[in-house]
Structure formats: C-alpha cells, structure tokens
Amino acid sequence: MIIDKISHLSCKIIIIAIVFVFITISGCVSNTEKIISEENIGGKYDAKIVTLEVLSEYENPITKETDKAYFTVYEIHYFIEGEKYRGYWKPFYRDSIDWINQNTQTNSVFLNWWDYGNLIRGGTGRDVVISQPSKYLWILKRAGMATRIDEKTYEKEYGGFDSSERIKDVSLALTTDDITVTNQIMDKYNAKYIFLTMGDLELFDVMTIREGESNYTDYYTTIEISGEQQRVPNQRFYNSTLSKLIIFNGEDLKNYRLVYESRPQPYYKENKEKVYKAVYNFLYGGNLTVENTGCIKIFEYVKET
C-alpha cells in the first residue's frame, strides 16, 4: 500500500507534463466568465467572494474541432487605490481568514506562497510579502493553463506581478534547510506570520524555480519500485522549513509557534499529507502518525530576546 502511494507521488511530474503538452498542443480558443454569485465580506478593501462559471473553448487535438468545458471557479476580488486584484479562493479558507481578523494586529505582515496572498490581503487587510507571481513564473504558468490571458489583461484584472526578488526570497525562506535563512527573510520584510496549506507540498517543485534556475533535484531522489525508477522526496525535502512546519508542526523550531490549525480536508485534491508522511516513515525510519491534520496552518514568528 505504501509502495503504491510512493509510486503515485512520483508519477505526479509525469502527469503534469502530459497535461502541459495536451494544453499546449490543443490551445485554448477562448474563456468566457459568468458571475454566479457574489458575497460581500467587507473589510479594509471591501472584498467580495465571487463564484464564476467559466466556459473554456479549445481545439481538440484529435478531431480538430472546437470543444467546450464548463467549470466553477471561486475567487476573491478587491480594489486598492482603484487597482483591481483577483485571487484564488476555496470555501474552507473562510475560517482561517476570520481567525486572522480576530487574532492578529492590523499591521501584521504574512509570508506565504503567492497563490494565497490575495485571499489574505483582500480578506483581512493585512499585508503580505507576495500576492502575485513574478513575470517569469507567470509566463511558465500561462504556458500550462487552459487559458491565453495576455499580459496586459492579467495586469489589469489580477493586479500584475511581484518582483523577482520577493518571489526568490519567499521561495528560499520555505525551501531552505537552514532556519537562520528563513528568520533573516522574515526580518527583512518585518513578517510576523507564515501562512501554509497542505497544497504547498505539491507546490514545492515550483518554489525551487528561480528565474530560469531550479534546484528541484536537490530535494528528491530516485528509488526502484517494482522494477521501475521512481522519484520521491529525499531527506533534504523533509528538512526544509516548509516540511518542518506543515508536516512536523514546527516542533523543533524554537522561533515558530503554531497558532492556528484548520480542520482536516482529506478530500481536497491537493492534499497529499498522508502520502508524504508514509514516504518519510518508510524510507527514513520515521514514526509519524499517517493521518490528515489541519489543511491550513499559521505559525507566529517569535524573535529571540
């Protein structure tokens, strides 16, 4: 059973490659959005939770005919000084946003991967180190998305891009195996909290991409399973700040205190927590309980006195 899980994890990069090729070859003809509902959540930026029905039309690579696909998207929309921002949203994020509003100071700064920056800033008014990809990461993402949003439209509708320096710093803060480096970056941006989700484990490889360079292979190893070579996380992956926080709850990190943990979300498709724990136990002699814990975790950075 554990071998099957390891094999499934190692196949992830192959699946991503297949999807990337399919979308790139087929190409998206157009996307049409229709607002299904809006919920005002107010706050500093008068944010709204928007449910969209998106019609994607694309060329079928086999029949060469135009096919259609409908899917539902949840987003958070808000404005800062007249500039529009749109961000990723899931209904189960709501409790974490409520907690931030009720338990942190309004001038608090959060460090998080960019996917979650808009939901934190829009939903709470707190500042974040990053809320958008760099232009380089956006180009990579755009190549693999079922859309062909041009650069000007993205800047107008989604809020543009964060600097490469900020993306690199957050990437390094989360993927480093030296907690001193994480602390230095937290200090650089006066960040008080780290906001993580179980989905970040699946984004780890993206976090290692820094303007054309990636040390992705430094965090994975290859083992033979059922006669086939499979890629799995290595010990350095589990020694990263991200893993120490999200998997091990920061138990050995004296500067970080778990202050919020959401309910488990075992059916959240990006949640592979049990797989990562099983791999750690099987390959590296761990004794982690293989269970789902909170899908969202917030850690407070406590400076040494």
Q: What is the pLDDT along the chain (305 residues), one digit of tens a residue?
A: 554 555 555 444 433 333 333 333 334 445 688 899 999 998 999 999 999 998 877 667 677 777 788 889 999 999 999 889 999 899 999 999 999 999 999 999 999 999 999 999 999 999 999 999 888 887 776 655 545 567 777 777 788 888 999 999 999 999 999 999 999 999 999 999 999 999 999 999 889 887 666 777 889 998 887 888 888 999 999 999 999 999 999 999 999 999 999 998 877 666 788 999 999 999 999 999 999 898 999 999 998 76
Is the Cα dihedral 178, 199, 216, 130 positive or negative?
Answer: negative
DSSP string, 61-73: TTT-SEEEEEEEE
Q: Please, what are the domains in the chain?
A: 83-301 (3.40.50.12610)
164-199: burial string, b at 16+ Cβ within 10 Å, e else: eebbbbbbbbbbbbebeebbebbeebebbbbbbbbb
Residue 179: the pLDDT is: 97
The C-alpha atoms of residue 64 and residue 234 are separated, in whole angstroms, by 43
Length of the chain: 305
Beta strands in 43-148 (DSSP E): 47-59, 66-80, 83-88, 109-111, 127-128
Backbone dihedral region of 62: left (phi > 0), alpha (psi from -120 to 50 degrees) or beta? alpha
What pTM was computed for the model?
0.84
Residue 4, pLDDT score: 53
pLDDT of residue 243: 97
pLDDT in tens, 217-240: 889 998 887 888 888 999 999 999
Do residues 219 and 199 lie in contact, with contact meaning Cβ atoms separated by under 8 Å? no
Specify whether the CB–CB gap between 177 and 99 falls below 8 A.
Answer: no
**CB neighbour class for 38 (10 Å; exposed up to 12, middle 13-18, buried from 19):** exposed
Q: What is d(CA 226, CA 175) in angstroms, rounded to the nearest whole number?
A: 30
Instruction: Please say whether the beta carbons of 124 and 195 come within 8 A.
Output: no
Q: For position 178, what pLDDT does the model report?
A: 97
With H, G, I as helix, E, B as strand and everything else as coil, classify residue 245: helix
CA distance 45 to 232: 42
pLDDT at position 8: 52
Tokens of 103: 């338990």
pLDDT at site 269: 65
Phi, psi dihedrals of residue 264, rounded to the nearest 5°: -60, 150
Please report, for the chain, how many H helices and E strands are present, in that order.
13, 13
